[in-house]
Structure 1
Amino acid sequence: MKTITLCLNPINLNALSRKAILFLVISFSLIACSSDDVFIIEDASLGVNVRVTNVSDFDFEDIIVNASTNNANVNFNIENLDVGETTDYRNFAEVFPYPWASLVLDGETLVWHGYTTGLDVPYFEGSFTCFIDIIDGHNQEKSLLVF
């Protein structure tokens, strides 16, 4: 199984708590298709298999991940993802790195606006895990971590 991990600390969450700034850290190597015609492949031996793991100390609600730079309507939707929980694999025709993602934590919607270099090459095969983490930053500046 191939695992690519990208950890990003993009969001200042002062609105969530006055005591601490939380940073949304998303590690991805992920999900989506570039067209509505090819969304989920029936044969799991073909395409890209993707799952999502919550490695934080918080339960998440309404997780949406979209790794397609061409189609905002192709999402990986998860209703709830508890601490330590991992979804089943879902199969896609292709996925792009650096996805857009959102989730709800303690009633607050957190959004990571994925980015692209414009030269991103989609993955057409393999199995990948997306790790989602929230880090208590204690009023630190925003930071970007890649590991």
Structure 2
Amino acid sequence: MTENTIQTVKISRIINDCEGVKTIIFKITGTQPKPGQFVMIWVPGVDEVPMSISACDEAGNWAITVKNVGECTEALHELKVNDYIGVRGPLGNCFYIPPHKDYNIFLVGGGIGMAPLRFLANHLKTSGYTFKAVQGAKVE
């Protein structure tokens, strides 16, 4: 897939993470995103919005984690397994990953901002890095 070409993909799985947050999984082959990159997600008839990639495996299963905050994210929340979306990417720069595994790595994030850090944390772990993570959250 060329990064700037929209590819139509079928949703293979949807995870209801918590109230107002879903993870949408779809398959893309031929390119492998890096932690920190994003995609443009197109919902036909609604809009196109940028979304961080929250996971990607060797089989080409990509994930975006979506908080319902507007018209396009609401439309994404209404989609079902086997529905189609348009995907353009991966785009943008990736997170810096130190060349040596003896660096002290500290991940800090909060709320929906943890989604792209999940992808980074999984990559660091499978690559043999050690790291610490701190997560902030809103409480009522």
| TM-score normalised by length of structure 2 | 0.29
Name the structure where strand makes up a greater proportion of residues. Answer: 2
Name the structure where helix makes up a greater proportion of residues. Answer: 2
| TM-score normalised by length of structure 1 | 0.28
With CA pairs under 8 Å and 6+ residues apart, which has the higher RCO, 1 or 2?
1
